[in-house]
Structure 1
Amino acid sequence: KMNNNSLYEHNSIYMYDYAANSNWTSFILEIGKAHEVHSQPIAVYAIILTCLSTIVNSILCYVTLVTRELRRQPLYACVFNFCFMNLLMGLFVTSLVVYHELSPTWKLGLFVCRAWVILDVFLPFTSFMTLMLMSIDRFFYARFHSFYQSAKFRFQREIYLLIPWIIGMVVVIPLWVGGFQQSPIEMTDMCVFGLVDEASVASPILVFFLPAFFLILVMIITHFFSFRKITRASARSISSRSAGTPRDQYGYYAYENNFSAVTLYLINVTFLIMWSPYHMMSLLLAMCLHCMPPYSLIVGFTYMGTTASSIISFLWLTDYHVRYSLKHVICDRFKKVKHTPSNNVSLTLLEA
């Protein structure tokens, strides 16, 4: 993992011993050339991402906070947590990319540089841990339903909110603070940092590949238990819903459970797809000292992951309860139409 500030001409590069670190030298020179050509388009794209992320994630955070039925549920608290992390990603990481691309030199200091690089890893990882927590919760709900219902405890919502942040601080902060390696070329006006050898290999494995393996495993097992064929009672209740008869927990609620599970699966898969190229490239660079992909490829994979922080939040709208609550908030706040949700509608994400 490395974040690099722009470069036009830097005297220390031409005084540097090329033979000792030719890959670094070539890479830094390529940054300077690429900056002159692509800095403005990248800055425009970063501005669009920042605005999009701020608007979408702010709206979803607001909806989950003002809707009492959502705010009280631990899993919808996780939705708020996920959107809040992506909001911070847009405000403090993507926005600095604009400065990074438009400013010829880095003048924000070493501390801001390090904080920027660490947040660029920390916030996506905590988002990943939030999805992992929700998926594990769904596994226990599908596999051990009775135990899940009886094991609910006080402050469950608060604990669900804190767990991803705690895991992120335990995994990412020591790895990146202790493993920081400054560029072998002395550059006081650039933000160029990487990791030492062991940390550079451990980072993509601990931050992405290992959690991705467990997430896929949990999704497969949960799918096996959640999407077994519907019983006759469920089928009758689902049919009765369209006929206007009362909805019971084995019909309507089972249908909503499967729909919300699809939402979570869709977000999980999209997250994995959009971040995997970047982490595969990071692992390749860490294990192959002589491998140096084109800078354009590095930028493309990096922004593919950054884009995920802006567009994935849109996918929460495929959840019925989030969509219903957003519609209710819009009607209530802007059209002044008072409409109380029906008591027959459960607003608990993915559960009866």
Structure 2
Amino acid sequence: MNTTSFVLYDVFYDQAKEGSIDYPVLHNSSHERGFVQVALFGIFACVWSLVFNSLLILLIVCQSQVRSQFVFNHVISLSISDFLYSSLVDIITAYYDLMPWKLGPHVCKAWMILDVMIPFVSLLIIIILNLDRLLFAISPISYFRLFHRKIFRLAALVLPWIIGSVIVVPLWLLTSTVEPKPGMCIYGITQEAAVTSSVISLFLPCVFIIILTVFILATLIGGLPQDLNEFVSLTFNGSDRTSTKTIKKKHTGVVVALTFVNFFTLVLQLPFGAISILQPECMDPTCSSTLKMLQALSWLRSANPGIRPVFWILITELRHICCSCCDVTSTSSNEMRLMEMTSVTNTNLTNEPILSEHSPEEMNKQV
């Protein structure tokens, strides 16, 4: 998010007082993100996020029954956003903690803008997910008629990415006050732009998420509407027909997982954003405790992309897919061992029919 670099206050504060530049609100440097002493742990968190988000995407894409449910398309979109954040933001952060900046000013700008834009996109996707489940719980028929059209499905998937890019990128590029310096990655924007960016990209989406979480939990208590049977008759035919009980169970699993995603997203992101706005007011050197707190909170924020896919895998029907894959693997290995044993036994059994070709009388004669 939009924080001020304490390291650079001495450099730019005099210029700000003289009016040569606006009061700079610098994006958080890598040394404020909690990776200074634990860069290797930060790399581990990046790898964790990349592995679990890749696994989540693979599970959904490879299972046609899950892939055909439109809600899981949003889950894939959220997982792609988390994957990009870990691969484009956190990995560069860990790099900057371990060595001086040598990637140039353009990569610096892109890195800092993506650090704001991608979390904003993730919040928008979470809002769309909540709206998806809320509409389905209120009127399954309306949900089917709306997303039965390809253009509405595409719009729901693309809209968060378009909104995030259109709002964040111009806001940060057009209000810059401090450009990147050689050997350092710093980028400053005006205080007004920083506050506006935080309100639009963090606080407003979080307010919507809180309200929607209450609503979707209320739908679990109230249950799905009576027209669910009509929804089943419209969307399923013949042998593929799914019972209303199964649909309710799947819907409940998605809502429970989404509730956990909502909760941890708010808990891990809001404290960092709140202190980031207050940080420019702290100009005194005695603010080291605030810096340490910001480092810890920034790490919690960066842990979000690795936590969210775990809930989707463990709580929804994807858990059964993982279990079935493990069962198939163990069954296959057991079958292979059984085939080896059977092949040996068959070689012994094949000798028995040679003796059984003779009648009992002939065998007695031979004896």
TM-score range, shorter chain: 0.7 to 0.9
In the alignment, the residues of structure 1 paired with residue 329 and residue 134 of structure 2 have an alpha-carbon distance, to the nearest angstrom, of 37
What is residue 42 of structure 2 aligned with on the other side? 46
Residues 3 and 277 in structure 2, CA contact (< 8 A), matched pair in contact too: no
What is residue 150 of structure 1 aligned with on the other side? 145
Residues 137 and 224 in structure 2, CA contact (< 8 A), matched pair in contact too: no
Which residue of 233, 257, 264 corresponds with 1:270? 264
CA RMSD of aligned residues (A): 3.7
Q: Call closer, same or farther: CA 1:217–1:20 in 2, change over 3 Å.
A: same
Q: How many residues align?
A: 308
In the alignment, the residues of structure 2 paired with residue 335 and residue 130 of structure 1 have an alpha-carbon distance, to the nearest angstrom, of 39
What is residue 70 of structure 2 aligned with on the other side? 74
What is residue 279 of structure 1 aligned with on the other side? 273
The aligned amino acid for 1:296 is K
TM-score, normalised by the number of residues in structure 1? 0.75
Q: Alpha-carbon deviation of 1:50?
A: 1.3
Q: Alpha-carbon deviation of 1:134?
A: 0.7
In the alignment, the residues of structure 2 paired with residue 248 and residue 161 of structure 1 have an alpha-carbon distance, to the nearest angstrom, of 26
Who wins on radius of gyration, i.e. which is larger?
2
In the alignment, the residues of structure 2 paired with residue 164 and residue 43 of structure 1 have an alpha-carbon distance, to the nearest angstrom, of 31
Which has the larger displacement, 63-72 or 269-278?
A: 63-72
The question of 1:198 aligning with 2:192 is answered yes
Which residue of 163, 172, 175 corresponds with 2:171? 175
The question of 1:317 aligning with 2:313 is answered yes
Q: Alpha-carbon deviation of 1:200?
A: 0.7
The aligned amino acid for 1:258 is T
What is residue 341 of structure 1 aligned with on the other side? none
Q: Alpha-carbon deviation of 1:126?
A: 1.1
Residues 35 and 299 in structure 2, CA contact (< 8 A), matched pair in contact too: no
The question of 1:213 aligning with 2:207 is answered yes
What is residue 258 of structure 1 aligned with on the other side? 252
Deviations 1:17-72 (A, max 9, x none): 59949xxxxx99xx89x79xx86632112111111111111111111111112222
Q: Call closer, same or farther: CA 1:221–1:301 in 2, change over 3 Å.
A: same
In the alignment, the residues of structure 1 paired with residue 159 and residue 331 of structure 2 have an alpha-carbon distance, to the nearest angstrom, of 38
Q: Call closer, same or farther: CA 1:16–1:259 in 2, change over 3 Å.
A: closer
In the alignment, the residues of structure 2 paired with residue 39 and residue 144 of structure 1 have an alpha-carbon distance, to the nearest angstrom, of 47
The aligned amino acid for 1:314 is V
What is residue 338 of structure 2 aligned with on the other side? none
TM-score, normalised by the number of residues in structure 2? 0.72
The share of aligned pairs that are identical, in percent, is 23
Residues 1-352 of structure 1 aligned to structure 2 (within 5 Å): 1=1, 17=14, 20=17, 41-103=37-99, 105-155=100-150, 156-182=152-178, 187-228=181-222, 249-285=243-279, 288=281, 290=283, 294-330=290-326, 336=332
Residues 42 and 101 in structure 1, CA contact (< 8 A), matched pair in contact too: no
Q: Alpha-carbon deviation of 1:320?
A: 3.0
Q: Call closer, same or farther: CA 1:14–1:110 in 2, change over 3 Å.
A: closer
Q: Call closer, same or farther: CA 1:89–1:146 in 2, change over 3 Å.
A: same
Residues 126 and 262 in structure 2, CA contact (< 8 A), matched pair in contact too: yes
In the alignment, the residues of structure 2 paired with residue 39 and residue 267 of structure 1 have an alpha-carbon distance, to the nearest angstrom, of 24
The aligned amino acid for 1:268 is N
